[in-house]
């Protein structure tokens, strides 16, 4: 029997050992499907002649239904069966068993039962294992070419409808496909049975106006296609080559090349694609712009800062330059971007100070012109006449102030802050200034040679208001100084603090 199935016998006809499996499998893999099925059927007939159960022989014959990947295992099983049958026949002929005819018959019956049971389980296990991986499916043959396997015909029909819609989207117009589809039943590995997506690509490729092309996308929009991506790369490289720069040259838009199903009407010759990408409409930009980014550096002035400091020695509103400001210098690093050679945009990336700027310092006066409540000497010269009764021009009279003598032209200062209520010539006083300190006090400055204030002008304590002179009823250069409290002249020496 084994000779009939495999063309050769094992060295021990009743034994099936491990080392024989590999050569059996290798020989089984070379069997054609037709020879494999004939071998399984012959094995079943040999088992019947050897006295085995017809049910078991039918199970062995059923192994002819297993797919190609299981032929090696199935033939090995047939080989095992042949060995078992040879052993039974050997025992039937007496072999090395010294048994009576009745014992031999009982032994044969027992051997048949054991072998039938064991092999039945083995065959069933192989068939269950095969069923867990393989199943009956439909092979889809499109225009004479197999494109895969599906579980049912409805999968293909639903996919045809979906593909028609998808093809319409690709072509930009309504489209319905009517493919020549043939279905064939086949035992196939479950992993090879496709769903609708598995055969969609095959159906789309059957549309005559659609093919798998290399599509150029600019900002996600298709602008042309070619059969090979190298054709598009050549066009793009040539566009970039027109811009010579030491900087970085690239496309301003997002450019990509994708292999995808697309309408063949999208195919463009290289010169057509170049023209479409670089054409600049009136008052517009080209479809594909080139940006050139250059790294530059230059010197730039650093403006100086101005600092203002309070100066109590200056009147409120007055300023004084303490330090002159001077601009510094810095080296600026930047990137300059040109789009199609126009509209440069500069972005500063850093700077390094070469010469620091000098800060300008200005003193700002904080001294107010309001009354302080204290009085200072208007002039620090010698007292030539005090407050009280004195003899002048041969007669005694009351002197309502204090005279401070000094050279003509020396400055006279305001004893305290206030508002000028008189500035002019007053009988007896000559050129005279009267200041109202807005607290019931007034001060009078007479015999001046020159006045530096006007009526309603606000002056501060110790501010220059006039010059020493001898105008009016006077016998020499001095300043006549009075302090009046609510209109009554008082001895100034009782109020002067310095």
- Sorted by where each begins, the domain ranges of the chain are 2-134, 143-208, 215-288, 294-367, 382-494
Cα angle value 71/76/77 (rounded, 5°): 100
> Cβ neighbours of residue 405 under 8 Å, at least 6 residues apart?
381, 382, 383, 384, 476, 477, 478
291/118: higher pLDDT: 291
Distance CA 278, CA 460 (A): 78
Cα angle value 71/73/79 (rounded, 5°): 100
Does the pLDDT at position 14 exceed 50? Answer: no
> Cβ neighbours of residue 175 under 8 Å, at least 6 residues apart?
164, 167, 168, 207, 209
Least confident residue range of 95-99, 119-123, 491-495: 95-99
Determine the CATH number of domain 382-494.
2.70.70.10
Q: Looking at the whole model, is its pTM more than 0.75?
A: no
pLDDT at res. 188: 57
Does the pLDDT at position 193 exceed 60? Answer: no
Q: 92 with 57: CB under 8 angstroms?
A: no
For the chain, what is the mean pLDDT?
A: 78
Per 3-state DSSP, what percentage of the chain is helix, strand, and coil (rounded to 5)?
35, 35, 30
Least confident residue range of 402-406, 424-428, 472-476: 472-476
* DSSP reduced 3-state for 106: helix
239/171: higher pLDDT: 239
274/109: higher pLDDT: 274
- State pLDDT tens for residues 429-448: 999 999 999 999 999 999 99
Q: pLDDT-based confidence at 243, cuts 50/70/90?
A: confident
Q: pLDDT-based confidence at 6, cuts 50/70/90?
A: very low
Fold of 294-367: Resuscitation-promoting factor rpfb fold (2.20.230)
Distance CA 50, CA 44 (A): 10
pLDDT at res. 257: 94
Residue 301 neighbours by CB distance under 10 Å: 11
173/477: higher pLDDT: 477
């Amino acid at each position: 029997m084994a000779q009939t199935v495999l063309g050769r016998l094992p060295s021990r006809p009743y034994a099936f050992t491990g080392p024989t499996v590999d050569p059996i499998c290798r020989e089984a893999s070379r069997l054609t499907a037709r020879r494999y099925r004939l071998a399984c059927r012959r094995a079943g007939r040999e088992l019947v002649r050897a006295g085995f159960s017809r049910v078991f022989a039918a199970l062995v014959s059923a192994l002819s239904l297993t797919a190609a990947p299981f032929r090696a295992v199935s033939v090995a099983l047939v080989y095992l069966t042949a060995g078992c049958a040879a052993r039974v026949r050997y025992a039937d002929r007496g072999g090395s068993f010294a048994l009576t005819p009745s014992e031999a018959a009982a032994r044969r019956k027992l051997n048949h039962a054991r072998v039938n049971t064991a092999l039945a389980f083995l065959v069933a296990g192989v068939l269950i294992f095969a069923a867990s991986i393989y199943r009956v499916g439909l092979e889809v043959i499109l225009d004479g070419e197999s494109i895969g396997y599906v579980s049912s015909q409805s999968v293909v029909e639903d996919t045809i409808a979906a593909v028609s819609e998808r093809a319409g989207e690709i072509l930009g117009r309504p489209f319905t496909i009517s493919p020549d589809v043939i279905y064939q039943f086949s035992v196939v590995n479950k992993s090879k049975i496709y769903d609708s997506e598995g055969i969609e690509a095959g159906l789309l490729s059957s549309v005559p106006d659609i093919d798998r092309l290399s599509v150029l996308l600019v900002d996600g929009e298709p602008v042309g296609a070619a059969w090979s991506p190298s054709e598009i790369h050549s066009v793009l490289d040539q566009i970039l080559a027109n811009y010579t720069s030491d900087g970085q040259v690239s496309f301003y838009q997002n450019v990509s090349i994708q292999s995808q199903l697309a309408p063949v009407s999208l195919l463009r010759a290289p010169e057509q694609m170049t023209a479409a990408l670089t054409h600049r409409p009136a008052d517009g930009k080209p479809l594909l712009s080139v940006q050139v980014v250059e790294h530059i550096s230059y010197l730039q002035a650093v403006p100086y800062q101005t600092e203002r400091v309070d100066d109590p020695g200056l009147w409120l509103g007055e300023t004084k330059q303490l330090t002159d400001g001077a601009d510094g210098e810095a080296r600026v690093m930047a990137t300059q971007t040109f789009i199609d050679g126009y509209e440069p945009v500069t972005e500063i990336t850093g700077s390094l100070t070469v010469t620091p700027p000098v800060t300008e310092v200005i003193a700002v006066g904080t001294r107010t012109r309001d009354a302080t409540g204290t009085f200072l000497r208007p002039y620090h010269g010698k007292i030539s006449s005090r407050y009280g009764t004195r003899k002048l021009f041969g007669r005694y009279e009351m002197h309502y102030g204090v005279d401070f003598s000094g050279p003509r032209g020396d400055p006279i200062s305001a004893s305290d802050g206030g508002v000028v209520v008189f500035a002019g010539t007053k009988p007896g006083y000559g050129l005279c200034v009267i200041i109202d300190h807005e607290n019931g006090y007034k001060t009078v400055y007479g015999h001046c040679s020159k006045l530096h204030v006007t009526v309603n002008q606000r002056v501060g304590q110790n501010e220059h208001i006039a010059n020493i002179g001898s105008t009016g009823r006077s016998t020499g250069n001095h300043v006549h100084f009075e302090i009046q409290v609510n209109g009554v002249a008082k001895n100034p020496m009782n109020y002067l603090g310095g």
